[in-house]
Amino acid sequence: MRKTLEFMMYDWLKVQELTRRDRYAAHSRETFDSVLDVSEKIALEQFQPLNRLTDEQEPEYVNGAVKLPDGVGQALKAYADSGLLAAGHNEGVGGMQLPYVIDMAANTFFAFNSISLSAYAMLTYANANLLMAHGSEAQKNAFALPQLQGRYFGTMCLSEPTAGSSLGDITTKAVPDGDDYLDCGLGPRYKIKGSKMWISGAEHDLTENIIHLVLAKIPDDCGQLPAGPKGISLFVVPKFLVEENGGITSTRNDVMLIGLNHKLGYRGIPNTLLSFGENNDAIGYRIGEPGQGLQLMFHMMNEARINIGMGAAMLGYAGYKASLDYARDRRQGHLRSNKGTQRGNAQIKLIEHPDVKRMLLAQKSFSEGALGLVLYCAHLIDEKRTGTDDQKNRAHALLELLTPIAKSWPSEWCLEANSLAIQVLGGSGYTRDFPVEQYWRDNRLNMIHEGTHGIQALDLLGRKVRQNDGAAFNLWVSEVMQTIEQAHEHADLKGFAQDLDVQLQHLIAATQKSQQDDMFEMSLAHATPYMQAFGHIVIAWLWLQVTLAAYGSDTTNEAFVAGKRSAMQYFYAYELARAHGWLNLILDADDAVATMQDDWF
Amino acid sequence: MRKTLEFMMYDWLKVQELTRRDRYAAHSRETFDSVLDVSEKIALEQFQPLNRLTDEQEPEYVNGAVKLPDGVGQALKAYADSGLLAAGHNEGVGGMQLPYVIDMAANTFFAFNSISLSAYAMLTYANANLLMAHGSEAQKNAFALPQLQGRYFGTMCLSEPTAGSSLGDITTKAVPDGDDYLDCGLGPRYKIKGSKMWISGAEHDLTENIIHLVLAKIPDDCGQLPAGPKGISLFVVPKFLVEENGGITSTRNDVMLIGLNHKLGYRGIPNTLLSFGENNDAIGYRIGEPGQGLQLMFHMMNEARINIGMGAAMLGYAGYKASLDYARDRRQGHLRSNKGTQRGNAQIKLIEHPDVKRMLLAQKSFSEGALGLVLYCAHLIDEKRTGTDDQKNRAHALLELLTPIAKSWPSEWCLEANSLAIQVLGGSGYTRDFPVEQYWRDNRLNMIHEGTHGIQALDLLGRKVRQNDGAAFNLWVSEVMQTIEQAHEHADLKGFAQDLDVQLQHLIAATQKSQQDDMFEMSLAHATPYMQAFGHIVIAWLWLQVTLAAYGSDTTNEAFVAGKRSAMQYFYAYELARAHGWLNLILDADDAVATMQDDWF
């Protein structure tokens, strides 16, 4: 993976050019590479050996606490000691001022080697990043900096037992704590009361403290909770109370573990049901203004969504690598021709069988395609942060549009890649003696958490492509057209450019049709297939960019370039063609789902 | 499910007409229904409560034996006592002379409620059926009848550690046991020596004896094993030796459990590595002639393959049912229109969300489509056994062609259905508090065992569509054309008939092209997509038949008919269109896989 990762960073995205910007001026390709070296080493030495162990010894509920297998604390300490939690932040707060794309590239190794251990880190840096962007100075000092140092870990507390996808319906209350609640140095002080469900990493003794970011509603004067998502506010709620100066106390806040969810996979991190303020007071400090909660939370959610996509891509890659190794090693069967089976003395390697090669090439096209997508988005984050105004606006618009794709596409197709990895190994793949079945189980979470597939699809079709009269969508279309034009200059790539153009035109037509007044409700039934088509077109577009970069690179060898081109060809031949079928549901206004009635099932 | 099952049996396949045949003359719809009643009751009472338990307490290796959870023995005894193991056999040997399609329909309830417990039964009746068809009288008495009575259970021992899919490479030896080896009343007596891998149900103390059907090679005079699949012979090898009169002894044959495979799912039945003749003699009795082994084994394998398809269909159905119940019960979110979210006081039911309805309708189209396919094949088995010569020939040809589809299609698409069931439940679906994650894990085996997906594809493209100058394929095409003609008579179905015709023509073209001399090897890379397209066209054809039957039925209500038609419409709109894309790989002679090299990965 390292070779493809570096190729995508330096030959395709040219991230080394970021070092020309003031913020990254102290960096060079050498410092970037050394971050990758250290990360790869720690991940392999500390995370990899725990991946199966944490699956087998899942978190245990013991008297309101969580018992984790030995070694988890040490592995996460090694991660924290690497400095990656603060990687993107200013040197003044202990950061490395690394571009986000380097930060993400470094984190790929941890996700590759243990997705569930890497989730503690992801929640922590995304939590701290929100606080650093939107918290007060006191909140940054008390809650964010200790996370950047790895002394505290973080969580995000959104869902409740009766409000999962439907966050507007949460009922957790935040009531001002005394008449002087506004006088608290850590921000307006509230008593939080309610339950939160599906909260990862919310109880453990790995760190001195745990910082919960909690969505809750502030009742009006009549004690009524404001309706809908606009009534949501955001609070920071520590496990142990802190002094106004930020010092930790030994006083436990009333955030209590009620139970653990017993999961199909992703077991290295506990997933919990929490109660706030059930017995005593659960003190929380408001971030931002009342009613801004969901908007602020999106700072963390958008980052988390792209990182979910990265994690899914890495699980896909890990399965690809494991099945590739197996297929190169295991001998089974003989070659066939139209004259029958060519029975020699020795069996041939699995990889020599066309159907096995097909499954490996599919995994390559999915996992490398997904990696390309999330790196592309991470690079946009850098553009948005440090680019010119034009670059910032462009990056912001593309990120808004592509975030649901970056979250959903790897989650769906790298899961499919993991299923193919199992298939390459056959019976062995179905046993726990090999890692591929765990990758498949772990990856199944990614279409569910951080906004389900359906939620991402509604975000894309119902909001993102419509915003500002479709400005982001039109901008993206023009970017795809540029790639198509570039590809037309290579005789070898012309056919692919044409195929992409055809599918892009279908997408444009379906997007327009979905916005007709009489089509909107019917289109909701087709939101997921629309997103699947959109995702496939995005990946096909990026594969074409990657192949163009490979053609233009002087650092890669022929086999590497041929591999990229073949993976692209595979994706176009086997996958891209599907886009039209998905889009036809809107173009033909198919009503199978819309007309279906409950009692017809 | 019962309603759809009965509709498919009586309104669509008209299996009650079988009672006009001599063999089934004692039966009527009433006796058929009472078999279903009893089966449904036993499955629900005895199998269902053990399904999660046998997943959590997987088989344990203890001193060469297998420890199973309490209750497994009682549940399987209840199954055996129902008489289903012998259901299809003559009354003279304790059977019920039931048509195969009724037998399968009865077994659907057991697979629905516990796929892994039902596997003991399936292996046992398929083992006994082979012996009843190809064994000597003594072999039937000694080995088959006790299985039909449920006193013994059976296995199939094909794969070896170095020969899984490549059976021609097995190295288990069968050496004549003494000069008088031909004088044994139980059949020619051999000493078996070798290892067998992936053998389900091969060790337990549920029954008095275990009957292994073992593939092995008889060395030539120089001690060499004959090469390839034609050198394989078939042996019956009991766990405890039996007298020539069939009486069981207390002498353990040298069939020893070396270890258990720790599986992702399907855990109620142990999967084993066995050694034969490692320490003492493992005595086996040859069935049929030397070299006939694989051909005879196909009697069991073909039956098992259709039953694998049935099991996959039932797992799909079970997930569909569980997620449908959940979606009708759980409230979450609000309706949306192009004016925004319609926020009422109460959240709406999950099933009211278009995207959830889509996922339920997909599951319905997959699981009912798969059920239709396996019932159709079971009915063909009856036609082959008891029809006129013309009916027999037709049924034989169609079965040969459709068996790889009946095995592969449900395995792939009802797994997808199970993934959608998880998605409907969201976070809950990812926990072990609900059954859907287990269905998904259990179902993942079905693309692997009894011939992997790739093996089925090679069987279909490399053999079945080519046999007898494509006679079976051409026959099937003519059957599809008949259905298309019938559908053309309904204004409402014309469009579907046309869509099916278009895809059928693509399939015919791709089938022809794949047989061109210069295309054969390249086609191997496309064998699986070809099978996927073929399967989708088969299911679309059967959905059209089912809908025609629903239109013509006077026993169903409007909602039932509308549900069938919607599921068909869903399948055509969302799925059938994919066939062309898969077939284009052959039609366009895409060479992405064929040209891919090991060092390009």
Model confidence pLDDT, tens digit, residues B417-472: 999 999 999 999 999 999 999 999 999 999 999 999 999 999 999 999 999 999 99
| Percent of chain A whose predicted confidence (pLDDT) is above 90 | 96
A342 pLDDT higher than 80: no
| Confidence at residue B589, expressed as pLDDT on a 0 to 100 scale | 95
For chain B, which ranges sit under pLDDT 70?
Answer: 343
Query: Treating both helix axes as pointing N-terminal to C-terminal, what angle do A115-134 and A293-329 enclose, rounded to 10 degrees?
Result: 150
Q: Name the token pair of B148.
A: 């039909």
**3-class secondary structure, A508:** helix
Buried b (16+ CB within 10 A) or exposed e, B489-510: eeeebeebbebbbebbebbeeb
Amino acid identity, residue A448? I
Contacts of B477 (CB under 8 A, 6+ apart): B504, B508
Pinpoint the alpha helices (H) of B489-577.
494-514, 520-524, 527-552, 558-570
Q: Are B592 and A569 in contact (CB under 8 A)?
A: yes
Burial of A345 (0-12, 13-18, 19+ CB in 10 A): exposed
What is the spatial distance between Cα B47 and Cα B72, in angstroms, rounded to a whole number?
8
What is the spatial distance between Cα A411 and Cα A443, in angstroms, rounded to a whole number?
7
Which residues of chain A lie closer than 8 angstroms to B261, CB-CB?
A: 427, 430-431, 433
Size of interface A-B (CB pairs under 8 A): 262
Instruction: Tell me the per-residue pLDDT of A101-141, one tens digit each, with 9 for 90 and over.
Output: 999 999 999 999 999 999 999 999 999 999 999 999 999 99
Alpha carbon B20 to its chain's center: 28
Q: Are B162 and B198 in contact (CB under 8 A)?
A: no
Mean pLDDT of the residues in chain A: 97
Among chain A residues, the shortest Cα distance to B261 is held by A431
B169, B441, B584 ranked by CB distance to A577: nearest = B584
Instruction: Tell me the per-residue pLDDT of A453-465, one tens digit each, with 9 for 90 and over.
Output: 999 999 999 999 9
| Confidence at residue B335, expressed as pLDDT on a 0 to 100 scale | 87
| Confidence at residue B521, expressed as pLDDT on a 0 to 100 scale | 83
Q: Is the Cβ pair A358, B332 closer than 8 Å?
A: no
Tokens 């590497």 correspond to A560
- Model confidence at A556, pLDDT cuts 50, 70, 90, reads confident
B169, B452, B559 ranked by CB distance to A599: nearest = B559
What is the spatial distance between Cα B553 and Cα B227, in angstroms, rounded to a whole number?
55
| Confidence at residue B522, expressed as pLDDT on a 0 to 100 scale | 85
Tokens 């991470």 correspond to A378
Instruction: Report pTM.
Output: 0.98
| Confidence at residue A335, expressed as pLDDT on a 0 to 100 scale | 87
What is the spatial distance between Cα B332 and Cα B335, in angstroms, rounded to a whole number?
10
Q: Which of B114, B39, B111, B31 is nearest to B71 (CA)?
A: B114
Q: Are A240 and A209 in contact (CB under 8 A)?
A: yes
Q: Name the token pair of B563.
A: 């549900």
**3-class secondary structure, A538:** helix
Q: Name the token pair of A110.
A: 């941890």
Which residues of chain A lie closer than 8 angstroms to B454, CB-CB?
A: 353, 355-356, 423
**3-class secondary structure, B348:** coil
Q: Domains in chain A and their CATH numbers?
A: 2-148 (1.10.540.10), 154-294 (2.40.110.20), 295-451 (1.20.140.10), 470-601 (1.20.5)
Q: Is the Cβ pair B566, A592 closer than 8 Å?
A: yes
Please give the average per-residue pLDDT across A53-64, as a whole number.
96
- Model confidence at A301, pLDDT cuts 50, 70, 90, reads very high
Q: Is the Cβ pair B596, A332 closer than 8 Å?
A: no
ipTM: 0.98
Q: Which of A286, A237, A277 is nearest to A254 (CA)?
A: A277
| Confidence at residue B336, expressed as pLDDT on a 0 to 100 scale | 82
Q: ∠ CA A148-A150-A155 to the nearest 5 degrees?
A: 80
| Confidence at residue A521, expressed as pLDDT on a 0 to 100 scale | 83
What is the spatial distance between Cα B62 and Cα A199, in angstroms, rounded to a whole number?
40
| Confidence at residue B554, expressed as pLDDT on a 0 to 100 scale | 87
Tokens 């079709």 correspond to A461
Which residues of chain A lie closer than 8 angstroms to B354, CB-CB?
A: 521, 524-525, 527, 593-594
Q: From residue A94, how far is each of A85, A91, A246, A255, B254 by CA, in Å?
A: 10, 5, 17, 30, 68
Q: Are B215 and B229 in contact (CB under 8 A)?
A: no
B198, B528, B590 ranked by CB distance to A355: nearest = B528
Which residues of chain A lie closer than 8 angstroms to B437, CB-CB?
A: 264, 444
Q: Name the token pair of A519.
A: 């089509």
Contacts of B56 (CB under 8 A, 6+ apart): none
Alpha carbon A46 to its chain's center: 22
| Confidence at residue B595, expressed as pLDDT on a 0 to 100 scale | 95
